[in-house]
Amino acid sequence: MITGGAGFIGSHLADACIARGYRVIVLDNLSGGRRDYVNAAAEFVQGDVTEPAHLEPIFANGVDAVLHLAAQASIRLSFADPSHDLRTNTLGTINVLQACLAYRVPRLLFASSMTIYGNSNPVPTAESAAPDPASYYAITKYAAERYVHLTAARRDLDFQLNVTSFRMFNVYGERQSLTNAYQGVMAIFIGNVLRGEPITIHSDGEQSRDFVHISDVVRAWMDALEQPATYGQVINLGTGVPTTVNALCDAVLRAFGKDRSSYPVHYGPAQPGDMRASAADIRRAQALLNWQPRVPFAEGIQQTIAWARAQLSDSRR
Ligand code: NAD
């Protein structure tokens, strides 16, 4: 079962699971995801993780593993509507966990986030760093992650619940929304250029992010699914390389054959919850999964832009 399986990352995971021969059920309320991203071989249930009644019939039918990605994934919207953020990210995760307990599901993989590291940790940041959430979103993802791991460690369960959380850094690639101004800075910039809109950089642009390609992220999740070494573990997924938002903007423009002399780039106020510096220490993923990101940043941007251009021409047909 993949919650959030109509979204950017979840839909790629559904494809990968089906390619591996698994039977896949996608649960998604389509608040952000798209029905046409759900693999045709998957069973699709339109439902909400905040409603236990929507989860129950799926679990009652038998679930071997849950990939839990359904979430409110925008830092900005977490400030605009903190209750919705808490309900979706934390309460939704509690509901998924309760269903796992009720139906003795042995395996749960959770989509955690690098945002929990905040601003006080050394960069690149290791999983052992003390969390310092700088946004409501980071708080609710961290709380959810702790619910997952604490539940799995409970001594009163009469079965083994094996959990793994991936603290993903800035995932990018095909199917990231080009129109959602609240999520995914690379896709926002690409969407801006495709529509001929000016690019707005918040703050001075010297804040950094660690951009990791969707195919690398999917490979880590898939390799972890049946890998006991990852049970109980929290694992960073990034490249270890920080890229400033200014450098990202220049790289996107360059990939379109443009630069700042020919394209409007504005600076706006810093956003609440923005982190100043971010990059992953990926030694744990290397050790447990023999994982290494493979897609170089420049190549990943080119691929993403090629996909984005095709989207735009499709929508004009
Ligand atoms: P996304 O918005 O594309 O995917 C989230 C999906 O969850 C969407 O399809 C949405 O419709 C669905 N959803 C939202 N609320 C729901 C609800 N109440 N019930 C059922 N479905 C619901 O975002 P994404 O980038 O694919 O992120 C997937 C997961 O990974 C999220 O948990 C996010 O917090 C986490 N994450 C993403 C990144 C990233 O860089 N994209 C980094 C770290 C963590």
* Residue 242 forms part of a structural domain: no
Q: Is the CB of 4 under 6 A from ligand 1?
A: yes
Alpha carbon of 296 to ligand 1 centroid (Å)? 24
| Nearest Cα residue to atom 13 of ligand 1 | 70
Q: Is the CB of 85 under 6 A from ligand 1?
A: no
* Residue 176 forms part of a structural domain: no
The domain tally of the chain equals: 1
| Nearest Cα residue to atom 41 of ligand 1 | 171
Counting ligand 1 atoms within 8 A of each CB, the residue from 165, 170, 171, 275 with the most, and so the one to mutate, is 171
* Residue 186 forms part of a structural domain: no
Active site residues: 137
Q: Per residue in 41-50, pLDDT tens?
A: 999 999 999 9
Q: Is the CB of 9 under 6 A from ligand 1?
A: yes
Alpha carbon of 128 to ligand 1 centroid (Å)? 25
Alpha carbon of 73 to ligand 1 centroid (Å)? 5
* Strand, helix or coil for residue 233: strand
Alpha carbon of 265 to ligand 1 centroid (Å)? 29
Neighbours of 234 (CB within 10 A): 20
Report yes or no: 256 and 266 within 8 Å, Cβ to Cβ.
Answer: no
Structure token pair of residue 261 = 């002399």
Q: Per residue in 180-238, pLDDT tens?
A: 888 899 999 999 999 999 999 999 999 999 999 999 999 999 999 999 999 999 999 99
* Strand, helix or coil for residue 295: coil
Give me the torsion for CA of 316, 200, 215, 284, rounded to 10°.
Answer: -170
The model's pTM:
0.98
Per-residue pLDDT at 284: 98
Distance between CA atoms of 221 and 164, rounded to whole angstroms?
9
Q: Is the CB of 290 under 6 A from ligand 1?
A: no
Neighbours of 315 (CB within 10 A): 9
* Residue 99 forms part of a structural domain: yes
Distance of CA 131 to the CA centre of its chain: 18
Q: Is the CB of 75 under 6 A from ligand 1?
A: no
**Residue 209: φ, ψ to 5°:** -135, 160
Structure token pair of residue 233 = 């573990």
Domain of residue 24, residue span: 2-169+212-237
Q: Is the CB of 69 under 6 A from ligand 1?
A: yes
Counting ligand 1 atoms within 8 A of each CB, the residue from 13, 48, 69, 81 with the most, and so the one to mutate, is 69
Residue 143, domain CATH? 3.40.50.720
* Residue 59 forms part of a structural domain: yes
The residue ranges of the chain whose pLDDT is under 70 are 316-317
* Residue 151 forms part of a structural domain: yes
* Residue 197 forms part of a structural domain: no
Alpha carbon of 126 to ligand 1 centroid (Å)? 23
What does DSSP assign to residue 138? H
What does DSSP assign to residue 229? G
* Residue 279 forms part of a structural domain: no
**Residues 6 or more apart in contact with residue 273 via CB below 8 angstroms:** 75, 76, 78, 79, 115, 134, 135, 136, 137, 138
Q: Is the CB of 170 under 6 A from ligand 1?
A: yes
